[in-house]
Amino acid sequence: MNANAFRHFYNYHFSENRKIWEGYVVSLSYEQFTQDAKYSHGSVRDQIIHLMNVDDAWFGGLRGVEVAESYEPASSDDREIIRARWDSVEQTIRDYLAKLQDEMLFDKPIKEPEEDKDLVLWQVLLHVANHGTDHRAQLLRLLNDMGVKTTSQDYIFYVYENL
């Protein structure tokens, strides 16, 4: 386990987020984008905003900064605004990962909340990426249920394409 491995895995995370956005979300109608779902965080819009907010919150904790209030789904249905916010969150994470060093992986950088104080950095990094995979799978299912033809998000396919 080393910092380069995490940078690589987060490149996969960002790539798959963009595939869902560019491959499916941009072509959805407003109704499809905001259509309520009775599972997890709801609509495609709400799932994406949840994913973005969680990434931002965890990396805020890693950086030792208080992140801005969570972006609320009801505050905007404008996909350009949502995409710009997601791009900003991604860039903040990329900036953090660019400075990541192997010896930092065993630090305990989170001060609050209490339940997270004993987490070591590599555990948080795995959690955030795994959380993203979980919600992308939920999004792919939701899109599939709308009749959108989707593809796999398997990590190995990313590896094959990026050897």
Q: What is the pLDDT of residue 163?
A: 82
The reported pTM is: 0.90
Provide the pLDDT for residue 108.
95
Domains of the chain (ranges, CATH numbers): 3-161 (1.20.120.450)
DSSP string, 4-52: HHHHHHHHHHHHHHHHHHHHTGGGS-HHHHH---SSTT-SHHHHHHHHH
Neighbour-count burial for 93-118, b at 16+ CB within 10 Å, e otherwise: beeebeebeeeebeeeebeeeeebee
Residue 74 is predicted with a pLDDT of 61
Residue 71 pLDDT grade (very low, low, confident, very high; cuts 50, 70, 90): low
CA separation, residue 105 to residues 19, 32, 52, 122, 126 (Å): 29, 41, 23, 5, 11
Computed over every residue of the chain, the mean pLDDT equals: 91
How long, in residues, is the chain?
163
| pLDDT tens-digit series, residues 15-48 | 999 999 999 999 999 999 988 887 777 799 999 9
- Closest by CA to 140, choosing from 131, 149, 130, is 149
pLDDT-based confidence at 6, cuts 50/70/90?
Answer: very high
